[in-house]
């Protein structure tokens, strides 16, 4: 069961801009007087970053790691707030977290920074929900820091190098994109709304494009002990075959494919995905066995 410590959660006024952090304050029930979940936010000193985070909701901690150029608040999940204390992070150079110009971006560094934030907040164990690159980071935390992890959900994550993980039909460019390309307009406009320096966008775009992600070894994937739900769309940037191959390698993995869905369905139609996430995170640790042809279906005995 995910656990949240008795110290480390900053109190806040719910405002997304201008939050500051010094020493962490005691954790309190994140609800208003009428039981409505409230929000706290702040900046944490993590690995040289001034890392922005937001916390909303009640219940067991769920760490949400956004995709490339995503950030806290740009795509909230209200259906999860009533039963989870959601901690959303702004990764290096994303959202309100300033970049460190001389430090490259990497999935490994993302994972280290998220773990550093959890330590700062006094969170000893949590569930994780990561989208795209955020899903890669969530899986890395499950591999490298298993003691911190309850359950993991990834959407559109890649677990191997681009040549085996990506679908060439949905990731093909007629012309290489630039920081001003229309295909990145959504991310560019959102970045400029909250970034400490909106003019840093071209450098961040170039920097993120230089991430060298080669994925995990089969041995690393097989070592994941936490239950993990691998989600993707049937028209995703990620190959369905890659997701199936990964699913087969991880002992406690589950796989769900969203029909008629692409890489950005969590932005466009999250109501098609979040109920599946919610069920996975909240179902009992032990459940009735699935029926096979040999056992047959018996109510209450198999499902």
pLDDT for res 36: 54
Q: Where are the domains of the chain?
A: 39-171+213-282
Q: Note the pLDDT tens digit of each residue in 187-209.
A: 999 999 999 999 999 999 999 99
DSSP 166-219: B-TTTS--SS---TT-GGGHHHHHHHHHH-S-GGGHHHHHHHHHT-------HH
d(CA 105, CA 92): 7
Q: Which two tokens stand for residue 272?
A: 């098609």
Query: What fold is seen in the domain 39-171+213-282?
Result: Rossmann fold (3.40.50)
Q: Tokens 């769309």: give the residue.
A: 233
Q: Note the pLDDT tens digit of each residue in 36-95.
A: 556 799 999 999 999 999 999 989 999 999 999 999 999 999 999 989 999 999 999 999
Intervals of the chain under pLDDT 50:
1-33
With the C-alpha atoms ordered 276, 256, 229, 38, is the resulting torsion angle positive or negative? Answer: negative
pLDDT for res 39: 76
Q: What is the distance between the terminal CA atoms of the chain, rounded to a whole angstrom?
A: 25
The length of the chain, given as a count of residues: 303
d(CA 156, CA 230): 8
What φ, ψ does residue 264 adopt, rounded to 5°? -110, 25
The C-alpha angle with vertex 76 and arms to 157 and 203, in degrees rounded to 5, equals 60
């Amino acid at each position: 069961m995910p656990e949240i410590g008795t110290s480390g959660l900053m109190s806040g006024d719910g405002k997304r801009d201008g939050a500051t952090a010094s020493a962490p304050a005691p954790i309190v029930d994140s609800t208003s007087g009428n039981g409505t979940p409230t929000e706290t936010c702040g900046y944490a000193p993590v690995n040289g970053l001034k890392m922005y985070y937001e916390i909303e909701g009640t219940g067991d901690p769920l760490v949400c790691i956004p995709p490339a150029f995503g950030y806290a608040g740009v795509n909230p999940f209200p259906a999860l707030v009533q039963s989870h204390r959601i901690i959303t992070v702004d990764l290096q150079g994303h959202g309100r977290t300033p970049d460190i110009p001389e430090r490259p971006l990497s999935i490994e560094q993302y994972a280290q920074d998220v773990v550093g934030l959890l330590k700062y907040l006094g969170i000893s164990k949590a569930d994780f929900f990561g989208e795209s690159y955020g899903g890669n980071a969530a899986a890395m935390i499950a591999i490298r820091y298993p003691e911190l992890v309850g359950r993991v959900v990834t959407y559109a994550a890649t677990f191997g190098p681009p040549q085996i993980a990506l679908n060439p039909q949905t990731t093909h460019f007629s012309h290489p994109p630039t920081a001003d390309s229309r295909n990145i307009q959504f991310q560019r406009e959102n970045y400029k709304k909250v970034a400490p320096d909106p003019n840093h966008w071209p450098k961040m775009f170039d920097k993120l494009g230089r991430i060298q992600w080669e994925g995990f070894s089969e041995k690393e994937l097989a070592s994941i002990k936490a239950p993990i739900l691998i989600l993707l769309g049937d028209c995703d940037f990620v190959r369905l075959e890659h997701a199936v191959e990964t699913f087969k390698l991880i002992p406690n993995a589950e796989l769900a494919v969203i029909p008629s869905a692409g890489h950005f369905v969590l932005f466009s139609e999250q109501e098609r995905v979040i109920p599946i996430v919610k069920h996975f995170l909240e179902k009992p640790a032990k459940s009735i066995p699935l029926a096979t042809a040999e056992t047959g279906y018996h109510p209450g005995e198999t499902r």
